[in-house]
Structure 1
Amino acid sequence: MTIVAEPPVQSPADAQPPGKVSKSFAYKDESAGLARELVKDTLRCWDLAGLVETAVLVTSELMTNAIQTGCQRVITLTVEQIGESAVRISVEDGSRYPPLLIKAGLPANPDRVPARGRGLLLVDGLCKRWGLDLRPLGKCVYAEIHGQCRSRR
Structure 2
Amino acid sequence: MTLLPEAVSDSALLRRNQSPRAPMAVAPATVRLPYRPESVAAARRFVTAKFREWSLDDLMDDATVIVSELATNAVKTGCLTRMLVGVRRPSDRVVRILVGDGSRSMPVMVETGPGHTSGRGLAMVHKLTAGRWGVTPLPLGKVIHADLTASEPDSR
Query: For the superposition of Structure 1 and Structure 2, which TM-score range results when normalised by the shorter chain?
Result: 0.7 to 0.9
User: Which of 54, 58, 78 is the aligned partner of 1:46?
Assistant: 54
Q: What is aligned with 2:118?
A: 116
Q: Distance in 2 between matches of 1:84 and 1:48?
A: 11
Contact 1:100 1:117 in 2 (8 A): no
Deviation at 1:19, TM superposition (A): 3.2
Q: What is aligned with 1:152?
A: 155
Higher RCO (CA < 8 A, seq sep 6+): 2
Please give the per-residue CA displacement for 1:66-125, whole angstroms capped at 9, x wherever unaligned. 00001111100010012223211010100000111013x63xxx8xx5432210000000
Q: Secondary structure at the match of 1:142?
A: strand
Contact 1:131 1:143 in 2 (8 A): yes
Q: What is aligned with 2:31?
A: 23
Please give the per-residue CA displacement for 1:21-69, whole angstroms capped at 9, x wherever unaligned. 0000000011010110110110110111111110010000000000000
Q: Which protein is bigger by CA-based radius of gyration? A: 1
Deviation at 1:138, TM superposition (A): 0.4
Give 5+ residue unaligned stretches, structure 1.
Answer: 1-16
TM-score, length-normalised on structure 1? Answer: 0.80
Q: Distance in 1 between matches of 2:49 and 2:117?
A: 31
Deviation at 1:143, TM superposition (A): 0.4
Let me know the Cα RMSD of the aligned residues: 1.7
Q: What is aligned with 1:79?
A: 87
TM-score, length-normalised on structure 2? Answer: 0.78
Give 5+ residue unaligned stretches, structure 2.
Answer: 1-24
